[in-house]
Structure 1
């Protein structure tokens, strides 16, 4: 097959001309070729030449004017050029293998066939020649075209060979299946089952990149089911595996919290591409196994699983090499608060309860409500409709209270410095108590968060504590 008519970008002609000038057999390979045949947009182009990829990249960089961002990675024998939205990667054809206990490959120069042999899957092992004499010629030694048609993820060599070379490919098999909605070839999946423990030699940083891509796929539950049944999930995320299963005592059963979590994840994925909101969906019930109790009167309970789950979040993020800053705190907050909107559906709910939730959730209140809606997984459509209608009422109540009280992210107008100056206090417990009492008064609706009213309230609090005003000019 000749694909010259599909190579519309001028960069391919440029690389081909430079390659001919240098006498280098050169190809565009991998994901770009796959996406070209699938008619998917791709902005990453990988070029392989039989020879020095760095030399080819340097000459292409010069041919493009010499001013584009250019990086050389000598240790890996690769180079990259950024051309507007395009990321161009250059490498020499090579053979690559891993030692049993090592995460780092042994790399040698090789032929195009060697390079294609070391590719992860048949659909990523196709190459298109860019040299003038064979421009557009598709080189497809493992019939990747057919696997694209059959929607199949399959290793080019025996699975044990491909996965031994780089065990991360087991994760990548599932990631591609999840992103492309493909099946995994039976022998390839069996290879993952046999070798899943080998994922342990791969760095957490590489694993989390693949896991996050699965989470961001259109229907992430599919990827997680493959991870679960392949045994990989147990190796990389045992807390999630612990959610699976149903226990029955005296004819009372709880739901399978693993499959419930996957449904919540799919539900939320229909409404947001926010990775961290999807992580909140994954972790919202993560502490249910630790908090599960059986009570003869009420059946199964999971009291406090939201607080316990929030405490588990930092440890999970740290171990999985997820960012420990704002993303972790965001997920932790949503896990802790995910049950809080539920009691607000009652008719007699007070403004103060709504104020407290608005205050604690702050700018994340909309995301919290998105999570709460996704958490409704009943098969009873009338029940789902009723819950969603109740949440509509809660959100209306929130809008009314916020418009009236401006409570979201409020900062008390009376600061600790003002309290200390007023009563001549040093930093300490009493100052903290006064600040907390002022905050509570605002949340309870006793006072407005307005200086004169709040200051009068402060003086009253001070009098009750026997404090003497030493500076009344605030």
Structure 2
């Protein structure tokens, strides 16, 4: 097909032919030529190439013909003949070349039924294939054909949209978003990742079509939420989700926090905007998506536990415990992993106030021991979360809280080095207690083990065998148990 020329903006000051110097593009071009089909590299690779982002891991190739045949021919031309994964139902194929995953698809046009995002597919032209793309910045293609190698095909002025930092659909946004409602999440995700703005008509269309998100699976939604959370400033994406009404459908537990009440002149802070600030705060300090989820969910228990009384003002008693239970319901509803990832998030939510309380009071060894014992290997993550939770705009309070957290961190190191409670194991085992007092498995053994643990955490005895042994003998005597003579 003819290559569409555009008035290329300043963002496009590169030689695309030079950008396609990797040997794989020459091999694809040769294979396409032998099969007498047109081939193009399209989509995210081209977008990120122009934006100077990492672009070498995933490559999409469109063939005006059979993408599967092109993939098989490419494999033949590569010396080690990499295995081609064929997905006949989708008309696609994939192979791995060095560290790149390369997917091949035949150019196609699509139509949709109202109750499904799975398209009805027909063979088509490159223009048809570009029409079905979600955004103009993802419809850019680079020719791999001999006569036009490296030339850009940009029918929707995607380069201009990149220059203007705009997310825009190639066709009517109502059709684009209604056909595949996941594109609404993708638009917001790209806005968050790239720091682009969604075109006004397109943004209004997302609001109009928001209820269509209900046909999308939880797994797909979470994949986009994770990518928003992993952007540099996730609040950009979450504010767009809120503005368009999508967040109220996907995570109503979060939007419930966007309520500020006043009684007798007393108000409480807006916990929704506070939460987004905490998420932004934590991002420079962790790339762990589950710790970022913990920040997102750490206050969700506050809406249902909010109470007012004249003595204390606004309270949120037990919001951490309830928040942990609510986190599980969210994970179940969105089909998120119900394994150690959930347990980690629940632990972070349920313990999210503990270090904050410590940082406000005199830091005692016993309080720190209990914190480290309960948090275990996750104590550093918990401290990172709690430091991100400091959103006060009062510079004196901000400095004071951070200084106090520094003291807590130092105390954690000191107590852990001395008492080894992070991976706590009782110095004296249940089996030895049974042997000492000639006991069978019984309640008394649990009572004695718990007493040893409490004595260590309270600092009554060191975390050492002899001290624990002597303590057990003393405690057992009070319980009327006699040591067996040997």
Instruction: With the length of structure 2 as denominator, give the TM-score of the two structures.
Output: 0.94
Alignment partner of 1:54 is 2:68: yes
CA contact (8 A) 2:181 2:212 kept: yes
Indicate if the aligned counterparts of 1:94 and 1:107 stay in contact, CA closer than 8 A: yes
Q: Aligned match of 1:364 in 369, 374, 378? A: 378
Alignment of 1:68-87 (within 5 A): 68-87=82-101
The alignment partner of 2:461 has SS state of coil
- Matching of residue 453 in structure 1 with residue 453 in structure 2: no
What is the correspondence of 1:337-356 to structure 2 with a 5 Å cutoff?
A: 337-345=351-359, 348-356=362-370
Aligned residue for 1:4?
17
* SS, match of residue 108 in structure 1: strand
What's 1:270 paired with? 284
Query: Which of 286, 302, 316 is matched with 2:330 structurally?
Result: 316
C-alpha change, 1:344 and 1:49, in structure 2 (3 Å) is same
Please name the residue that 1:204 is paired with.
Answer: 218
Contact 2:363 2:408 in 1 (8 A): no
- Indicate the SS of the match to 2:354: coil
Distance in 2 (alpha carbons) for counterparts of 1:147 and 1:202: 28
Distance 2:481 2:326 in 1: 42
Q: Does 1:14 align with 2:14?
A: no
Aligned equivalent of 1:422, options 436, 460, 475: 436
1:170 corresponding residue in structure 2: 184
253 and 421 in structure 1: CA distance in 2 versus 1, 3 angstrom threshold: same
In 2: Cα distance, 1:363 partner to 1:7 partner: 46
After TM superposition, the structure 1 stretch with the greater mean CA deviation from structure 2, 427-436 or 380-389, is 427-436
Query: Do structure 1's residue 25 and structure 2's residue 32 form an aligned pair?
Result: no
Task: Structure 1 unaligned segments of length 5 or more: list them.
Answer: none
- Residue 347 of structure 1, CA deviation: 6.3
> Given that residues 424 and 471 in structure 1 are in contact (C-alpha distance below 8 angstroms), is that contact kept between their aligned partners in structure 2?
no
CA distance in 1, matches of 2:417, 2:197: 51
Q: Deviations over 1:289-337 (max 9, x none)?
A: 0110011233211111111112222111121222111111111111111
In the alignment, what sits opposite 1:113?
127
SS state at 1:419 partner: helix
> 1:192-231 alignment to 2 at 5 Å?
192-231=206-245
d(CA) in 2 for partners of 1:88 and 1:323? 28
State the match for 2:47 in structure 1. Answer: 34
Q: What RMSD in Å do the two structures reach over aligned CA positions?
A: 1.6
Segment of structure 1 superposing worse, 420-429 or 37-46: 420-429
1:346 shift after superposition = 5.4
Secondary structure of the structure 1 residue equivalent to 2:187: helix
- Spell out the pairing of 1:100-179 with structure 2 (5 A cutoff): 100-179=114-193
Query: Which residue of the other structure, out of 249, 256, 260, is the alignment partner of 1:242?
Result: 256
- Kindly tell me the number of residue pairs found equivalent between the two proteins: 472
CA distance in 1 between counterparts of 2:362 and 2:227 reads 44
Give the SS at the match of 2:30: helix
Question: Quick one: distance in 1 between partners of 2:477 and 2:225?
Answer: 58
- For residues 428 and 229 of structure 1, the distance between their equivalents in structure 2, rounded to whole angstroms, comes to 58
Bigger drift between 318-327 and 190-199 goes to: 318-327
Deviates more, 1:133-142 or 1:461-470: 461-470
Distance in 1 (alpha carbons) for counterparts of 2:230 and 2:331:
17
1:387-421 Cα deviation digits (max 9, x unpaired): 11111111122222222222212111222333333
Distance 1:84 1:395, change over 3 A: same
CA shift in 2, pair 1:427/1:67, >3 Å: farther
Q: How far did 1:109 drift?
A: 1.5
8 Å contact from structure 1 (residues 127, 140) kept in 2: yes
**Residue 270 of structure 1 aligns to a residue in which SS?**
helix
For structure 2, the 5+ residue unaligned runs are 6-14
Measure the CA separation in 1 of the matches of 2:440 and 2:105: 65
Q: Distance in 2 between matches of 1:152 and 1:446?
A: 64
Distance 1:471 1:366 in 2: 46
Residue pair 1:97, 1:166 contacting (<8 A) in 2 also: no
How big is the shift at 1:348?
4.0
Q: Deviations over 1:24-64 (max 9, x none)?
A: 11100001111111111112110000111111111111211
Structure 2 residue matching 1:101: 3-state secondary structure = coil
Report how far residue 453 of structure 1 moved. 2.4
Contact 2:117/2:179 (<8 A) preserved: no
Contact in 1 for aligned 2:39/2:62 (Cα 8 Å): yes
